[in-house]
Chains A and B, each alone.
Chain A
Amino acid sequence: MLRKTFENELQQVKDDILVLGSMVEQAVLASVEALKKRDPQASQKVIETDRKVNEKRFEIENQVMVLIATQQPMAHDLRLLASILDVASEIERMGDYAKGIAIINIRMGDQPLLKPLIDIPRMAEKGTDMLHRALTAFVNEDADTARTIPREDDEIDMLYNQVYRELVTYIMSDPKNIERANWLLWAAHNLERLGDRVTNICERTIFIATGEIQEIDSTWDELGEGKA
């Protein structure tokens, strides 16, 4: 087959996207677990991992640029490489959300959690599960699956609303809770944004497979909480 070397290199970059994705999945789950257990050392580890995530992202970016410069990709190959640049940056930003949650945990110092964490870990599990499947669909260029995953973002949005309402009642019952409620709201917000970025990845998958740019809006986004 013609272009075997190029095919192999494309596969290598796709594999690296999966590696980057799994680094971030683990970071997100670890950041929430650390928050749940109020374990600042675990949070510190998440912050350190984020540096590796950033490095991996730049490594992927560099691989893509070398391929563009040396292989003159066209059509599907070009869409794939352009999308990989975009998706690598989406994943890297998700890594920043994990780091953000880790920083929250450290900044909270000795303060106990306002309430036991139930919905926030659910958001993290749902989000990372969606991310995992979205990236599998991405590397398989599976537009059908990519179209279905964003619908599940509503579940994350629902959990977020639930967390929000609950925290507001804590604040109303005692304004001294404001700061601790805010920490948790911030963490939940990060996870909500993660879901939106999964949707962006799915849009890219559809673009690679079909050449069509299709914007997928979940209900929450229509409320004006736009995607990045």
Chain B
Amino acid sequence: MVHPTHDETEYILETQNLDIFYGDFKAVAHVNMKIQRKKITAIIGPSGCGKSTLLRAFNRMNELVPGSAIKGRILFQGQNLYAPDVDPVEVRHRIGMVFQKPNPFPKSIYDNIAWGARVHGYKGNMDELVEYSLRQAALWDEVKDKLGQSGLALSGGQQQRLCIARALAVQPEVILMDEPASALDPIATLKIEELMQELKQHYTIVIVTHNMQQAARASDYTAMMMLTDDDTRSGTVIEFDETTKIFTRPGDRRTEDYVTGRFG
């Protein structure tokens, strides 16, 4: 199996003056950030500051919410993701997503992996793809003898890795993770974090997390989001830097207050 060929330029995603709206409400304002290829970028910040909204804009998931719209641009490999000729399904194929709550299909482990690939027109050897994806998600050894069992019969941590395997099966370049470990116990959480370190050899990961220790442990870059001080109550990125810097000597007082637990 070959890995998807990556354009080796440094930044895979870039937002330019990005605003995100739900109807009249500007949920996220003026975000300019560049996401590095094959690195893990964490988005942190208090509840309701637009972290998930920003994450979902990266693969046009917000469009599924009626009334949502963006201003500004998001470039993926230099190409405008929201250009009229871009197919959102193709976007979600190349930029996959893993959610907070593991959501395997009520089907066999095998079919959980195979289904997406089939939909995307995969013509290769399906057994190989299933094994490869499960191996990449560090789940193969635990499930290889029960591929016909329901995905729902797995533990929470295994289900989440199954969802990661499912996302990998369509060979994306970016994986967006929205609080992927918040419903898991500490051991399952660490397994996901270890897995992320493996995956970044081939993929770019953007993760939203409420768990600051997780951001500190697992990510290379951290973006701190916060509501703006004005009346709009929009969220924006107030600081974006190397994770080590954000957690040892942040530049913005508000980041300092947040990471030391004094915000609020």
Q: With an 8 A cutoff between CB atoms, is B118 at the interface?
A: no
- Mask: chain B, 40-73; 1 = CB below 8 Å from A; 0 = not: 0000000000000000000000000000000000
Say yes or no: A211 contacts B249, CB within 8 Å: yes
- Nearest CB of chain B from residue A6's CB, rounded to whole Å: 7
Residues 201-233 of B at the A interface (beta carbon under 8 Å): 212-213, 216
Could you tell me if B262 and A3 are in contact, using CB atoms closer than 8 angstroms?
yes
List of A residues within 8 angstroms of B212 by Cβ: 72, 74
Is the pair B263, A74 in contact by a Cβ cutoff of 8 Å? no
Binds B, one of A28-36, A38-46, A75-83, A92-100: A75-83
Determine whether the beta carbon of A75 is less than 8 Å from that of B263: no
Please measure, in the bound complex, the distance between the C-alpha atom of A79 and the C-alpha atom of B259, giving whole angstroms. Answer: 13
B181 → A minimal CB distance (Å): 16
Are B262 and A1 interface neighbours, CB within 8 A?
A: yes
**Please, which residue of chain A has its CB at the minimum distance from the CB of B263?**
A2
Q: Does B260 contact A (CB under 8 A)?
A: yes
Contact B261 A78, beta carbon cutoff 8 Å:
no
B259 near A74 with CB under 8 A, answer: yes
Query: Which residues of A (127-157) have their CB < 8 Å from a CB of B?
Result: none
- Chain A nearest CB from B261 CB (Å) reads 5
B250 at the interface (CB under 8 A from A): yes
Measured in the bound complex, the distance between the Cα atoms of B261 and A76 in whole Å is 11
A73 touches B249 (CB 8 A): no
Contacts of A76 in B (CB 8 A): 256, 260
Give the contacts of B230-264 with A (CB-CB under 8 A): 247-250, 255-256, 259-264
What are the residues of chain A within 8 A of B256 when measuring CB–CB? 75-76
CA distance in complex: A41, B99 (Å): 72
**Least distance between B217 CB and chain A CB atoms (Å):** 11
With A72-B213, A74-B216: A79-B260 Cβ-Cβ less than 8 Å: no
Scoring A73, A74, A76, A78 by chain B CB atoms within 10 A of each residue's CB, the highest score goes to: A74
- Known contacts A72-B213, A75-B256, A76-B256; is A3 also within 8 Å of B248 by CB? no
- Chain A hits for B259, CB < 8 A: 74-75
Contacting residues, chain B, for A2 (C-beta < 8 A): 261-264
Least Cβ–Cβ distance between B140 and chain A, in angstroms:
33
- Residues from chain A with a CB closer than 8 A to the CB of B260 are 3, 73-77
- Report whether B248 and A79 are in contact in the complex, using a CB–CB cutoff of 8 Å: yes
Inter-chain CA distance A1–B263, complex, in Å, is 9
Contact A74 B247 (CB under 8 A): yes
Set of chain A residues within 8 Å of B248, measured between Cβ atoms: 74-75, 78-79, 211
- Give Cα A73–Cα B247 distance, bound, in whole angstroms: 9
Residues in A whose Cβ lies below 8 Å from that of B264: 2
Alpha-carbon distance A78/B212, docked complex (angstroms): 14
Q: Are B262 and A79 closer than 8 Å at their CB atoms?
A: no
* Shortest Cβ distance from A210 into B: residue: B249
Q: A75 to chain B: which residues have CB within 8 Å?
A: 247-250, 255-256, 259-260
B residues neighboring A (CB under 8 Å): 212-213, 216, 247-250, 255-256, 259-264
Not counting A74-B216, A74-B247, a sample of 6 additional A-B residue pairs whose C-beta atoms are within 8 angstroms of each other reads: A2-B263, A75-B247, A75-B248, A75-B250, A75-B256, A77-B260
30 A-B pairs with CB atoms under 8 Å apart are A1-B262, A2-B261, A2-B263, A3-B260, A3-B261, A3-B262, A6-B261, A72-B212, A72-B213, A73-B260, A74-B212, A74-B216, A74-B247, A74-B248, A74-B260, A74-B261, A75-B247, A75-B248, A75-B249, A75-B250, A75-B255, A75-B256, A75-B259, A75-B260, A77-B260, A78-B248, A79-B248, A79-B249, A211-B248, A211-B249
